A and B are shown apart, each in its own frame.
Chain A
Amino acid sequence: MADLTSDFLGIKSPNPFWLASAPPTDKEYNVRRAFEAGWGGVVWKTLGLDPHIVNVNGPRYGAIWGADRRLLGLNNIELITDRPLEVNLQEIKMVKRDYPDRAMVVSLMVPCEEAPWRFILEKVEDTGADAVELNFGCPHGMSERGMGSAVGQVPEYIEMVTRWAKANTRMPVIVKLTPNITDIRKPAAAAKAGGADAVSLINTINSITSVNLDLFAPEPTIDGKGAHGGYCGPAVKPIALNMVAEIARDADLVGLPVSGIGGITTWRDAAEFMALGAGNVQVCTAAMTYGFKIVQEMISGLSEYMDEKGFSSVNEIVGRAVPNCSDWQHLNLNYVAKAKIDQELCIKCGRCYAACEDTSHQAIAMSDDRVFSVKDDECVACNLCVNVCPVEDCITMEAMTPGQTDPRTGRVVEPDYANWTTHPNNPAAEAAE
């Protein structure tokens, strides 16, 4: 069993799996259950000033599903904690006392003035918590009051509030970013400029999950009306991965620790975030869908993977895929591949044919007896057939060997790397040496 011990900003936890600030970490009862189940840490659901906020008394969540009602995406309009500040602080203190080996981070959201930040940071420090996370992410409800994503969408505010936080606590400060912006590097840079010890991302994405076609109202519907919520769950993972990678590979942000969040459901998802630079990960929707027990699979899965790879520390995964994250312009245009259909595996459904013939390059032939084969002189290796094929590994992309002639272009495959920056069709191409 590999050593999964995690050290994030000096905060030790037995594994890199934390529960994100959300309903699962709203109170002592849940968090104790989470720690008993094996979670490495929690980010306590966001605290605010008293009088505490209130939530709607109707549905807070909406969802989209895949086959057999597998939950793929979840949307919520729940606000920050709706319990008194003192109650939360007492509970945090007791839980941290009983679980000193687990990470206890407290999420915070108060108005954009220094006094309330100073006030609440002092309170949190008294609990013995390991760190704070500034919630600049929630896109619904609180943002209408000038908090949450309303701060996270303005880099100057991020920098200002982060600076206040750093000035008023000795605890590490993590800044949680909203994805509802155009360039994630700008708010990350602002957080760094303000002195943040780390950023965590992504918070939820503005969303309407569905429309009730009888009521003509967005779901979830409260008395005939619906408000946009924040989208999370497996469906948002690709968006989150990209944003994490954007930060990890930015020259000005190199070294800024990242806590990865966004649709992490399995150990594999977690490992992917870490490979793109996340020092640890935070999970919410998967726990809300299946309960806390999933962490057992995440622990065993990551451990087995690390053993197979011979990694002795989770840090060996962190950032390992970042050097391979490239700009399009640097991709090798001399790499030529062709789709190849394994006739033994093919079940003759014809989806590759329909997809290629109707929507792509007419590069798959279909015989009278339903044998499907690739026309190498038409195939551009787009990969659509691979993606629509229901049989794993039935269609593969095979790289051509340098020296072979591509039957589509009639050109010999070059052994050397060449990209768009030097391509003759690029008006801005640099002259080759």
Chain B
Amino acid sequence: MADQLSAGIVAGRLSPEELEANFADLHPRLSDHEALVASDRCYFCHDAPCITACPTDIDIPLFIRQIATGTPEAAAKTILSQNILGGMCARVCPTETLCEEACVREAAEGKPVKIGQLQRYATDTLMAAGIHPFSRAAPTGRRIAVVGAGPAGLACAHRLAMKGHDVDILDAREKPGGLNEFGIAAYKTVDGFAQAEVDWLMQIGGITWKPGQMLGRDVTLEALKGAYDAVFLGLGLAGVNALGVEGDDRKGVLDAVDFIADLRQGDLSGLSVGRDVVVIGGGMTAVDAAVQAKLLGALNVTLVYRRSRARMNASVFEQDLAASKGVRIICNAQPVAVHGNGAVREIEFAYVDDDLKETGETVRLAADQVFRAIGQSLEFDGLAMDGRKIAVTGAGRTSMDGVWAGGDCAAGGDDLTVTAVAEGRDAAEDIHATLGAG
């Protein structure tokens, strides 16, 4: 029987009860009374700053007033009409750097209205009631291929279906959801919410789910262009950047995204984790991997980021969450070598300044498991690129007529769920307008 002190990468470090407690809902849904109290704090600002801060422009004061007056379903419709994945965004949005940062009560007293949790209250209420508040326009006879069933693709597909188009949504995986299903910490989306949300979204009708269809492997962009009136690419970023240091290929050096996907799909008590885990990176994925390694029972988890704390992509809330769970955060250190005999035993870092200039000192951390979370890249060609992403203009138009792109695979915007939703939605509107004009 393994425990936290067991060396190596093993399963079952914690009891099933401990695992269940560790992976419980991070922010349980507000009760009715909590929601009323929280909604009462909203000032119903004129031309509210929170709306401006929301990438999907949700009318936040209106939906909060609708909650306050006892109509959470109406509130949900206000949310979902702008952001069809409002339920997931309520769970994963870094609200502390978006709507809640802009909330005037944050300025006034450092305690913003709980916009994210209120959004969840509203959308959960509607979904629990089994209501899908949108219906399709008359059929247009147009067919559109959406490649990638992540947030961008789902948002695009739903909006197109609502406009009366027929949508095929293709994905390399066997389950839809993209990063919602495979890439977000388990405690942010418990009880199979990602799949429930997709099922609910599909109730609009007119969307056909085509699993196991990978662009470049099972289908080509040329073929899609020929078979459909328009194509939307919401591919995400499949490739994981390598460390590019000696020993990078040692056993135990893994991609954080794969670890997170395994966590979401597998049985937690059967999942292996190291005793001494090191996560390299400073974004949300790095934090999600580090925190979950700790929650799985790793004894020591260290997150190492090459620049200063202030430049971490992970929000302060995420950093504090990691610290509260016992993750040690080391900044200004970049990996120079992975040591070991076959499997990793230590990882060596050089201390660097903010311009990544080495100070000349190094440090070695014991590690039996190392997770890479230093960014992902797109493995794709055939369209004009902007750096390592697909170049787009306007509402996601690529260099090829009839092909749009959005979400993480498209250049510009933060790589956030909510940004992907906005881009998918806006591309759908543009596709609709373009097809209408044609």
Chain A residues with a Cβ under 8 A of chain B: 67-69, 347-351, 353-354, 366, 370, 390-391
Contacts and interface: CB of A to CB of B under 8 A. Distances in A.
List 9 tightest A-B contacts by C-beta distance, closest first.
A350-B46, A354-B46, A67-B40, A347-B108, A347-B104, A349-B45, A349-B104, A349-B43, A347-B107
B108 A391 contact: yes
A391 B107 CA distance: 12
B145 to A, nearest CB: 42
B37 A351 contact: no
B33 A349 contact: no
Contact of B107 (A67, A348, A350, A354): A348
Contacts of A350: 45-48
Contacts of A353: 46
Chain B interface residue number, banded: 10 to 19
Interface string B32-47: 0100110011011111
B364 interface: no
Contact of A351 (B36, B40, B44, B108): B44
Contact of B46 (A68, A351, A390, A391): A351
B49 interface: yes
Nearest to A390: B43
A366 B41 CA distance: 23
A394 to B, nearest CB: 10
Contact of A69 (B33, B43, B49): B33
A348 B49 contact: yes
B111 to A, nearest CB: 12
Contact of B37 (A67, A354, A366, A391): A67
A371 B286 CA distance: 39
Interface in B37-79: 37, 40-41, 43-49
A68 B45 CA distance: 20
B67 to A, nearest CB: 13
A390 B44 CA distance: 11
Nearest to B102: A348
Q: Which of A347, A351, A354, A390 has the most CB of B within 10 A?
A: A347
B328 interface: no
A351 B45 CA distance: 6
Contacts of B29: none
12 contacts: A67-B37, A67-B40, A68-B40, A69-B33, A69-B36, A348-B104, A348-B107, A350-B45, A366-B47, A370-B47, A370-B49, A390-B108
Contacts of B225: none
Contacts of B136: none
B210 interface: no
Contacts of B40: 67-68
Contacts of A348: 45, 49, 104, 107
B115 to A, nearest CB: 14
B250 interface: no
B163 to A, nearest CB: 34
Contacts of B49: 348, 370
Given A68-B36, A349-B46, A351-B46, 17 more contacts: A67-B37, A67-B40, A69-B33, A347-B104, A347-B107, A348-B45, A348-B49, A349-B43, A349-B45, A349-B104, A350-B46, A350-B47, A350-B48, A351-B43, A370-B47, A370-B49, A390-B43
B251 interface: no
Contacts of B104: 347-349
Nearest to A394: B108
Contacts of A370: 47, 49
A213 to B, nearest CB: 10
A267 to B, nearest CB: 26
A72 to B, nearest CB: 13
B142 interface: no
Contacts of B48: 350
Contacts of A347: 104-105, 107-108
A283 B49 CA distance: 44
A390 B40 CA distance: 12
Nearest to A345: B108
Contacts of B44: 351
B101 to A, nearest CB: 13
Given A350-B45, A370-B49, A390-B43, A68 B107 contact: no
Contacts of B37: 67-68
A361 B208 CA distance: 56
B64 to A, nearest CB: 13
A353 B33 CA distance: 31
Contacts of B105: 347
A367 to B, nearest CB: 12
Nearest to A354: B46
Nearest to B52: A370
Contacts of B36: 68-69
A350 B51 CA distance: 14
Contacts of A351: 43-46
Nearest to A67: B40
A349 B105 CA distance: 9
Nearest to B109: A347
Nearest to A355: B46
Contacts of B33: 69
A366 B48 CA distance: 13
A390 B104 CA distance: 10
Nearest to B61: A349
Interface in B12-45: 33, 36-37, 40-41, 43-45
Contacts of A68: 36-37, 40
B52 to A, nearest CB: 10
A141 to B, nearest CB: 32
A353 B37 CA distance: 25
A62 B159 CA distance: 47
Interface string B147-190: 00000000000000000000000000000000000000000000
Contacts of B107: 347-348
A391 to B, nearest CB: 7
A390 B43 CA distance: 8
Contacts of A67: 37, 40-41
A386 to B, nearest CB: 15
A14 B23 CA distance: 60
Interface string B132-147: 0000000000000000
Nearest to A66: B40
Nearest to A350: B46
Interface in B61-117: 104-105, 107-108
B125 to A, nearest CB: 18
